[in-house]
A and B are shown apart, each in its own frame.
Chain A
Amino acid sequence: MSELKAFTSANHPTRRWRRIKDRLIETVLFLAAASSVLVTIGIVYILVSESLPFFSHVSLVEFLTEREWTPMFSDAKFGIRPLIAGTFMATFIAVCVAIPLGTIVSAYLSEYVRPSMREALKPILELLAAVPSVVYGYFALLFVTPLLQKLMPELGGFSVLSAGIVMGIMIIPYVSSLSEDAMRSVPTHLREASAALGSTKFQTTLRVVIPSAFSGITSAYVLGISRALGETMVVAIAAGMQPNLTLDPTEPAATITAFIVQVSLGDLPHGSIGYQSIYVAGLTLLFITLVFNIVGMWIRSRVQEKE
């Protein structure tokens, strides 16, 4: 009993130790949380510092205007445009698949399906995102491409089209999952108000739910686009790895990511021009991703301002 009383005193050694331990633990936990910021700083720092020497060999003008990207040739050319064209084309095809399908699926799951059914269907849908991308690469090269060749006999063994379609299917869950969350968080009373005015479920979905969830749906699209921009293995396997300044999706082409993989597969001396070129490519990719995310944030803030 007396021991219990002593413990209540603020200066009891056990209590003091408890206080110190609490502070200590908080500090450790804070460091863990802060380390995520260090990762970002690390990425930006390494990408910038390793690609700076590149621009002492190649002018920014050449980098942006040259039409060929052949850093590993003896007659090396350093124009980023073919890689950007490849990346955008693959992303565009993927987005054309993922955004319509993902949005339809999310609206269907959120508005039309019974909750118990939804709980069963969502994990299955999310498996689409869980399948390793290298498996998707195999699927694109050895299943989808032959299938497309039956429809378009002139299609070659490697094409951006096939890689883009498979990538689009792969990112459906990224689009649908966040969109569905956003749609489901639209308050029920808005749905009731719309129904009470005589609208069908489809009208409620189209005119009330989707506009109200616009901000969340934008985030979903931005995440999907970011995924498509950064996806590597599908394009590296199924689109070929040949930088090709074209906008024809039936041709093979290299994306930024595919180029990085191709160079990394070979022997890469630290500080060589090849080594620097993958960092420049990576930095470009990071920059493009960042721009898309900022555009997304801007659109969201515009919408929120209006409300």
Chain B
Amino acid sequence: MEDIMSNAQTKIMRETVREMDLTANLKWRRTKDFLFAVTGLMTLLFAICVLLALFIDLAMTGVPRISAEFFMNFPSRFPEKAGILSAWVGSLAVMITTAFVAIPVGVAAGIYLEEYAPKNIFTKIIELNIINLAGVPSITFGLMALGLFVYKLKFGQSILTAGMTLGLLVLPIVIVTTREAIRTIPNSIREASYGLGASHWQTIQHHVLPYSSGGILTGVIISLSRAIGETAPLITVGALTFIAFLPTAPVSDVFPFVSFQWLHDAFTVMPIQMFNWVSRPQTEFHVNAAATGTVLLIMTLLMNGIAIFIRYRFRRRMKW
């Protein structure tokens, strides 16, 4: 041991620290600790209170307005006659289209990145791109869709355009949650499957996908709940705010009995209807906006609740 100072000097130093009166300091440190715990709790409660205030404020104004007619009427110049028929049907149609775009592509991409992707520059680019895509403002997706889907590909300002726009917008959420769900499956399961002679895809099909289905479903529901409330990109692609008709029915009485004409119809959705009403000066329309908002909020909370429930059940069931 080089450089050890003489014991005598060491002793002097040791005494000084040990004999410092640190009790007052300790008290103050404990107080700060306590104060932070209180601040943290208060902040958390504040956030939850804001959520409650928002919900109560909306419900108190909106709930009295909700009735069967409100769901069965088209928008109108007269606030008391106006309803959200075209809006909720539009939301439903757009959601279905969104799901058909986002789920297959997102889940497939997630599987590829977790199960197949080699460690190379392409994979790195794809991964980086997905992270960055999640931070791109949603309105730029709308601008892209307006230029590409509406004008270049001539899909028009239709349900198809809207569904594809939102599908691409929520794609990163589906991909990321799919990957997270797949990642929780331990490698030993895969090895067991390979050990029995299964191919790569068989392993995925029989083991990876079924075991991660709960997580994937959670991601899908979360992404759709995000899509149902999205407004700005749909305004940009040119969703109309006043629609007094419904899309073409998907079933018809002439051969082949199903029709996809509805994909090309003009549409409005609930958040746009709400935006339209909240932007008007008359208070009566604000009541309609609150009612629409309540419906929208209940749907969003419901979807999130289901997602949390599935995640919880799935975690309990799957113990590796």
Contact = CB atoms under 8 A, between A and B. Distances in A.
A116 B171 CA distance: 31
A132 B301 CA distance: 10
A203 B32 CA distance: 9
Nearest to B198: A18
Report the interface size class on chain A.
35 or more
A109 B44 contact: yes
A49 to B, nearest CB: 8
B109 A108 contact: no
A285 B139 contact: yes
A60 B106 CA distance: 39
B139 A200 contact: no
Interface in A234-290: 236-237, 257, 260-261, 264-265, 268, 270, 278-279, 282, 285-286, 289
A89 interface: no
Interface string A49-63: 110000000000000
Nearest to B307: A123
B227 to A, nearest CB: 10
Report the interface size class on chain B.
35 or more
B231 A128 contact: no
Interface in A186-213: 199-203, 205
Contacts of A257: 137, 139, 232
Given A135-B58, A135-B296, A43 B141 contact: yes
Contact of B140 (A199, A230, A293): A230
A40 B129 contact: yes
B296 A232 contact: no
Contacts of A230: 136-140
A95 to B, nearest CB: 15
A105 B44 contact: yes
A39 B168 contact: yes
Contacts of B245: none
A233 B275 contact: yes
B104 A132 contact: no
B29 A200 contact: yes
Contacts of A19: 199
B184 interface: no
Given A261-B232, A270-B151, A285 B278 contact: no
B229 A43 contact: no
Contact of A33 (B109, B271, B296): B109
A254 B53 CA distance: 27
B286 to A, nearest CB: 6
A104 B297 CA distance: 27
A143 interface: yes
**Which secondary structure dominates where chain B touches chain A?**
helix
B186 interface: no
Contacts of B116: 26, 29-30
B177 interface: no
A138 interface: yes
A134 B229 contact: yes
A46 to B, nearest CB: 4
A259 to B, nearest CB: 10
A222 interface: yes
Given A233-B275, A270-B151, A138 B290 contact: yes
A121 interface: yes
A260 B297 CA distance: 25
A10 interface: no
B62 to A, nearest CB: 10
A299 interface: no
A132 to B, nearest CB: 3
B194 interface: no
Interface in B103-150: 104-106, 108-109, 111-113, 116-117, 122, 125-126, 129-130, 132-144, 146-148
A298 interface: no
Contact of B51 (A18, A35, A107, A124): A124
Given A40-B132, A202-B33, A285-B137, A264 B43 contact: no
Given A35-B105, A202-B32, A226 B137 contact: yes
Given A47-B140, A232-B231, A264-B146, 6 more contacts: A29-B112, A37-B126, A40-B132, A142-B278, A282-B139, A282-B143
Interface of A: 18-19, 21-22, 25-26, 28-30, 32-37, 39-40, 42-43, 46-47, 49-50, 101, 104-105, 107-109, 112, 121, 123-128, 130-139, 141-143, 169, 172, 199-203, 205, 222-223, 226-227, 229-233, 236-237, 257, 260-261, 264-265, 268, 270, 278-279, 282, 285-286, 289, 293
Interface of B: 29-30, 32-33, 36-37, 39-41, 43-44, 46-48, 50-51, 53-54, 57-58, 104-106, 108-109, 111-113, 116-117, 122, 125-126, 129-130, 132-144, 146-148, 151, 168, 171-172, 175, 199-202, 222, 225-226, 228-232, 235-236, 238, 241, 271-272, 274-275, 278-279, 286, 289-290, 293, 296-297, 300-301, 304, 308
9 contacts: A30-B112, A35-B105, A130-B304, A132-B297, A142-B286, A200-B29, A205-B36, A236-B232, A285-B137
Q: Which 5 A-B pairs have the closest CB atoms?
A: A230-B137, A132-B229, A108-B40, A32-B108, A232-B232
